[in-house]
Amino acid sequence: MPILSSRGAGSAKGFGLTGGRGPYDIEFLVIAGGGGGGRGDAGGGGAGGYRTSTQLVAIGTVITVTVGDGGAGKTGSNGQGTSGSNSEISGTNLTTITSAGGGGGGGKAPGLAGLSGGSGGGGNPGASGNTPSTNPSQGNDGGSGQSNAGSGGGGAGANGSNMPSSGNGGAGGAGSDSSITGSSVTRAGGGGGGAVSAGAVGAGGAGGGGAGSGDGTTATAGTANLGGGGGGGSAFDSNGGSGGKGVVILSMPLASFSGTTTGSPTESTSGGNKILVFNGSGSYTT
């Protein structure tokens, strides 16, 4: 996925120097929580919105990090799953980057649509991804099912699949790859749709999407801190899977790293870069 290049105040002019350090570029990956799957012949949840940005940041800037939770899968009665929550980075002279939570998966009844979001939930019909609209796109649409099986939720890299044939669930859309941590990881896959009778369940999309449920199986939750959508429930009134929590990742020159964080991010190095992985909300002061 292309990088959105944002330069905050526009240039280094006017940025103060502290302790011999000047302003420096930080690369961001911001993934929202995935949507929960619907219940009963249901669609998978959409993946959390997936956005990237590289920004020149002044010394002393407090970067506030918000990591969105995954939405709950639908339980108790047939219907739509809950959409995931937004993830965000913000700070003074920083361009705020907000990724939208993935849309919840819809139910089996005609007209019980998936919910729109970073990526859209599968349903009857499927919902729109990239909602609200960003450029580059933060996600894709959910697939459309029929009244007797569910469709896949959208992923960061592809639309969710329509129900392929009677009784079979549609696959969740694939996520997108990033090497921000130093190795390629796929994140933000959509949830698979639920199946009926002996039909095949919809597979979760690569990047943490949960599989749908079928005869004698349980819908799978989206993977935590990958922002995957939850799988849809089957015709046997099984519950939808919950969406996976999001993640926010920062990468910066190792020599520029200040060491000042809150929220206990996971720290690592890759080549000449310092990597901070926020699995929960916190902050970094440059």
In tens, the pLDDT along 81-110 reads 999 999 999 999 999 999 999 999 997 766
Residue 277 CB-density burial (10 A; 0-12 exposed, 13-18 middle, 19+ buried): middle
Nearest to 87 by CA among 40, 137, 138: 138
Of the pLDDT bands very low, low, confident and very high (cuts 50, 70, 90), residue 196 is confident
Measured distance CA(72)–CA(79) in Å, rounded: 12
Q: Compute the average pLDDT of residues 160-165.
A: 86
For residue 133, give every residue at least 6 positions away whose Cβ sits within 8 Å of its Cβ, in sequence order, or none: none
CA 236/CA 212 separation, integer angstroms: 12
218 in Cβ contact with 249 (< 8 Å)? no
Give residue 3's pLDDT band: very low, low, confident or very high (50, 70, 90).
very low
Radius of gyration over every alpha carbon of the chain, rounded to an integer in angstroms: 19
Cβ pair 96, 66 in contact under 8 A: no
Q: Are 63 and 109 spatial neighbours (Cβ–Cβ below 8 Å)? A: no
- The pLDDT value given to residue 16: 40
Tens digit of pLDDT for each residue in 55-84?
Answer: 999 999 999 999 999 999 999 888 899 999
Instruction: Report CA torsion sign: 128, 130, 132, 133.
Output: negative
Which range of residues forms the domain containing residue 182? 1-286
As a whole number of angstroms, the distance between CA 113 and CA 118 comes to: 16
Please indicate whether residue 44 or residue 195 has the higher confidence score (pLDDT): 44
3-state secondary structure of 107: coil
pLDDT at 51: 98
Using DSSP, state whether 255 is helix, strand or coil.
helix
* Beta carbons of 50 and 187 less than 8 angstroms apart: yes
C-alpha dist (Å) from residue 188 to 111, 165, 241? 26, 25, 15
Check pLDDT > 90 for residue 215. Answer: no
pLDDT score of 148 more than 80: no
Across 11-20, 31-40, 119-128, 135-144, least confident range? 11-20
In single-letter form, the type of residue at position 97 comes to I
Reported as type and span, the H/E element at residue 206 is none
pLDDT at residue number 227: 98
Q: Please report which residue ranges of 88-141 form alpha helices under DSSP H.
A: none
Amino acid type, 167:
G
Size of the chain, expressed as the number of residues it contains = 286
Mean per-residue pLDDT of the chain: 90
Beta strand residue intervals within the chain, DSSP E: 4-5, 24-31, 50-57, 62-66, 87-90, 97-99, 176-178, 185-187, 247-253, 260-262, 266-270, 273-278, 282-285
Q: 18 pLDDT band (50/70/90 cuts)?
A: very low
pLDDT at residue 163 tops 90: no
Q: How far apart are CA 77 and CA 63, in angstroms?
A: 42
Tell me how many domains the chain contains: 1
Around 125, how many Cα atoms within 13 Å sit in the side-chain half-sphere? Answer: 4
